[in-house]
Amino acid sequence: MADVTKDVAVDAGKPSGPFPCIDPQPVMAKGIDTGVDTCKNGMLRRRAIVTCPSVLPEVGKECNSGGGGGPAGECKTDVDCAKVKGGHCEPSLGPGVWCYCASSCETDADCGSGHLCLCGPKFGTCVAAKCNSGADCAVGDCVSYTANLGYGSTAMVCENSGDSCGAQSDCPNGQECTWDTSKGKKYCSPPMCAIGRPFVVQGSWRKAEVVDCGPVSNRHGDGGATGGAWLATVPADLLPVLAQHWENAGQMEHASVAAFARLALELLAVGAPLDLVERAQLAGADEVRHAQLCLTLAQRFDGKRRTFGPLTMVGVAIDTNLASIAASAVAQGCVVETCAALEARIASEQAVDVDLKAALGQIADDEARHAELSWAIAKWAQSRAGVTGAADVLVAMQTAFVQAVEGLRAADVGAQLPAQCGVVAGRQLVALRAHAISQVIEPAWRRLVGETVGSDWATTLAE
């Protein structure tokens, strides 16, 4: 039955947020209240810290690998995942079904620093968190938000009096309710394939704040007559949407500078060939240019000059585990950056404005090289691991691949926008992601785990 406490924050004698948990329904597992509520708007609230009940291993549940040309899987039933903490056997999505062992949790201690164990109806899942419960919050409760835009992962944070949303249902059609350190509050933002390698710290994508430097006298910048004439045809209500899109993209590109700097250090730590190290450093330089390009494009749509604030490095660590580095390359590069490269390529072909078309074309070329670098790292990691470590590297990469592809398939795609604006969204983005997975990413993956990633990969991507 519903929790009779309508607002835990108010009952605790502190102010509630602008989107309090209305009509909370407790998440039950095995007849036990897990301390997590589902609010009317879809937001989750952690009301109390409870050891998560688990139904694992599930009886009668089977997963069959190999369908659609997929590789042999790790498991068939949950029992096969006994070596994994709270292991359960889950199928990948789409062609090439592969069953893998996913983990679950019972307590926050199972999840490590910066995370909590969020109870569900079957078991707990580790999620990134800035709070453990409402007791940690000066305002409101400890509630959920979409952590990685476009990929739908859940994280927890304290409410803020400046929040502009509580959940996706509070946002305009096609936008998601997210939070990051640059704003310090929850806000609505369009989802997107990440343009640039995500800078992932403790499970969340980290970005710097964008600083407003005031208006410029000529919104159209150096676009000349062509830019001015084209912008005049864009509906006025779309201009701030497009400006926000490019501001978001600029934040991702800016964060990618740090991501590639860290990658170069990690490659050095595991003895990678200098060619891979050099390519990582060159990719970081590309991202500097991309970040500035994106801010210039944002300026053209709303006439505001911008720069980047500090990018916090709190909690950043250099990974020295070969399997983990390979897994990150697969998830963040082989899947995410390949998607981003294809998105930029299609957007460039559709853009009407010559400056927008040129900028997107340059980004697409560079991101394709960055994605190819990740495939090369994954291939090298297999050979570097040797006979004794190859299995660990392969399992880590397979798990990362399946989870990244699942996230890509399940992600929101935003509201449809005119194709000539240089933004791929809505139904077109659904089709693009399906094409990227079935025609580029999965074939390249099968070559990687079955044979090698051949030199034809870049040709396939360009097509």
Contact criterion met (CB below 8 Å) for 372 and 402: no
- CATH of 193-462 given 1.10.1760, 3.40.50, 1.10.150, 1.20.1260: 1.20.1260
CA distance 144 to 133: 11
Let me know: does 152 contact 412? Beta carbons within 8 Å: yes
Task: Please determine, for residue 4, whether its predicted confidence score (pLDDT) is greater than 50.
Answer: no
Q: Which region holds residue 315: left if phi is over 0, alpha if psi is between -120 and 50, else beta? A: left
CA distance 208 to 294: 14
3 pLDDT band (50/70/90 cuts)?
very low
Q: List, for residues 237-267, the tens digit of each pLDDT value.
A: 888 888 888 898 899 899 999 999 999 999 9
The mean pLDDT value of the chain amounts to 83
Q: What is the pLDDT of residue 456?
A: 43
Residue type, 173: N
Q: Where are the domains of the chain?
A: 1-54+104-157+166-171, 193-462
Residue recorded with tokens 């659609």: 68
196-224 CB burial, b ≥16 within 10 A, e <16: bbbbbbbbbbbbbbbeeeeeeeebbeebe
- Per-residue pLDDT, averaged over 327-350, amounts to 88
**Paired tokens of 112:** 């490590």
Cα atoms found within 13 Å of the Cα of residue 428, Cβ hemisphere only: 17
CA–CA separation, 270 and 164 (whole Å): 44
Share of the chain above pLDDT 70, in %: 83
Name the one residue in this structure whose structure tokens are 């926008």.
417
Whole-number percent of the chain with pLDDT over 90: 39
Distance CA 210, CA 309 (A): 6
Lowest-pLDDT range, 51-55, 85-89, 159-163, 223-227?
223-227
User: How far, in Å, CA of 120 to CA of 198, rounded?
Assistant: 27
Task: Provide the token pair at 230.
Answer: 């084209």
Which residues contact residue 4 at a Cβ distance below 8 angstroms, ignoring those fewer than 6 apart? none
8 Å CB contact between 246 and 298: yes
Q: Are 271 and 344 in contact (CB under 8 A)?
A: no
In this predicted model, what pLDDT tens digit does every residue of 255-309 receive, in sequence order? 999 999 999 999 999 999 999 999 999 999 999 999 999 999 899 888 999 999 9
Mean pLDDT across 62-77: 69
- For residue 424, what are its two tokens? 């791929």
| Cβ atoms of residues 155 and 176 within 8 Å | no
Per-residue pLDDT, 438: 85
Among the listed residues 192, 151, 191, 163, the one whose alpha carbon sits nearest the alpha carbon of residue 175:
191
pTM summary value: 0.63
pLDDT for 56 beyond 90: yes
CA distance 315 to 259: 14
The pLDDT tens digits for 180-226 are: 766 788 988 765 555 678 888 877 778 898 988 888 765 444 443 33
- Using omega within 30 degrees of 0 as the cis cutoff, is the peptide bond preceding 310 cis? no
